[in-house]
Structure 1
Amino acid sequence: MSDSPDELDPPFDVQEPAELAGPLVFNSPHSGCVYPRIFLETTRLDLATLRRSEDTFVDELFADVVARGYPLMRAFFPRCYVDVNREPYELDPRMFDGRLPSYANTRSMRVAGGLGTIARVVGDAQEIYGRRLPVDDALGRIETLYKPYHRTLRRLIGRTQRDFGVAVLIDCHSMPSAGGPRDERPRADVILGDRYGTSCSPIVSAAVETVLRDLGYVVGRNKPYAGGFITEHYGSPATGIHVLQFEINRGLYMDERRQTRTSSFERVIADMGVVVDRLAELSADELKPCRAAAE
């Protein structure tokens, strides 16, 4: 059950292995389910509706990476409170009382869709707030949650690259089993997002796709999820930093309506372990900048 404390303490954590085994880093930025009490008092929606935007249990699906020797970073705050997979100031001026900073990005497609750094909607475009928020509220969330999260993520990536010469960040997410009322087509089991080949070497994407297909999963690339801010911002294969966004269909491991684990949950965890082990087989030489830039 989601908590509703007065403060988020801590707002996120990094689970560190006893010993680092290689250049892999795992991140679960949207699995947070700790809802601040003041937020719940502000929203017009009930908790069950808000939770539809969570990547529920995704951090658990990848928790075994720590025992394998790789760090796992995870947010405890929900994405509908502040979304760290956006630019720091993707903000909709219609949501706030007061003037936004001049450097705020108010015209992005994500802002237009209500899914900026401070989201306006969840689920099927349901408005989160019944009134405008103070600008200082939004800026405070960015200062106390968003920026510390990214400072820590940058340090993890930087340490990994210093220790191994390269870094491979797997940004872990989930997606609804159906796209919405106008899209009744079944979705793929997993969508891999590499910003159309720009955020990581093709070796990384191909390795993950191949092992997933061998395990029986239906895999898509970049549509409808090519990767968000984290993938785009940190991915730099020409400098030895590779980022792949991993979107897994929630219907594979949970009851989406009840938000409970299903009987297949442990099997999916085991399959994710197979994926991680395949990634671990990639050598640093394969991922070094000269090779990534040449492909």
Structure 2
Amino acid sequence: MIRVEQGSAPLIVSIPHAGTDIPEGIHGLVSPDLARHDADLYVDHLYAFARELDATIVRTTVSRTVIDVNRDPSGHTLYPGQFTTGLCPIQTFDGEPLYEPGALPDQHEIERRRAEWFDPYHLALALQIERLRAAHPALVLYDAHSIRSVVPKLFDGELPNFNIGTNDGASCAPALTQAVEAICDASPHSRVTNGRFKGGWITRHYARPDEGVHAIQMELAMRTYLIETSDTWPPPWHEETAQACQQILRPILTACIDFAKAQA
């Protein structure tokens, strides 16, 4: 369920939400389709080119409905006062219930899922950070996400194409943020930094810029690489649109590597 592809460049691409697997033993869901509705569709496929940059990729194939590996396991909300989903979500981003009445996962079930899928993901990330920090004076942890362009319960209107999150500047050096921003701003797409999405638990938890671990989150509006439609879901992979997006993402990841190497 946890997939790690090791590279030697000072870059880790974390993909926590592209999984759609619903393992055996997950009971009480309204439907498997609904449980997969909020996946970061095809993000693993979108960033597959990172292997060519010698980056390390860490991802899970498990649906975020089973357990969200980008949530604070203590239950602390990352966005006080705003709607968000928890460690084991019980509703979709649209507020639809994910479980049948009386079938919500109890604390024992949440702990079981944490031990089986959450903890191994974070062990994998920690081990890759340790491995690369032993070889490089600095590295970038790039947390890759996407979301539907319009989700009224989460944000007003249409989300910008590129949503950079650095925990209000605390998770990485300004030079890294500026390098990523410049590439986004040179594209034909819209960009915001630390808007609705400031970085999830992965970005905030692992960031130690003073110790050479710089973390940044990229939340893509899905229209940036897919043809979104309200008629059918999920939309199919759209090669032409995805390739146009990759022409922007490739220099972004390259800039992350160059930034890390420059810290020597």
TM-score by length of 2: 0.89
Q: Which of residues 4, 7, 29 is equivalent to 1:43?
A: 29
Cα deviation for residue 283 of structure 1 reads 4.8
2:13 corresponds in structure 1 to: 26
| 1:232 has 2:204 as partner | yes
1:277 corresponds in structure 2 to: 254
* Identical counterparts, % of pairs: 23
Contact 2:93–2:151 under 8 Å retained in 1: no
For 2:250, give the aligned amino acid: G
For the pair shown, which has the larger CA radius of gyration, 1 or 2?
1
2:237 corresponds in structure 1 to: 261
In 1, the alpha carbon distance for the partners of 2:106 and 2:118 equals 18
SS of the residue 2:176 aligns to: helix
| 1:75 has 2:60 as partner | yes
RMSD: 2.2
Q: Describe how 1:117-266 pairs up with structure 2 within 5 A.
A: 117-130=87-100, 131=102, 132-180=104-152, 185-256=157-228, 257-262=233-238, 263-266=240-243
For 1:259, give the aligned amino acid: P
TM-score by length of 1: 0.80
| 1:59 has 2:44 as partner | yes
Segments ≥4 residues shifted beyond 6 Å: none
Contact 2:78–2:200 under 8 Å retained in 1: no
In 2, the alpha carbon distance for the partners of 1:203 and 1:51 equals 36
Deviations 1:225-264 (A, max 9, x none): 0011111111111111100000111012224433312231
How many residues of Structure 1 are paired with residues of Structure 2 in the alignment?
257
Contact 1:86–1:116 under 8 Å retained in 2: yes
In 2, the alpha carbon distance for the partners of 1:64 and 1:217 equals 21
The runs of 5 or more residues in structure 1 that have no matched partner are: 1-10, 91-104, 289-295
Deviations 1:45-91 (A, max 9, x none): x333222211011111111111211111111001111011112242x
The runs of 5 or more residues in structure 2 that have no matched partner are: none
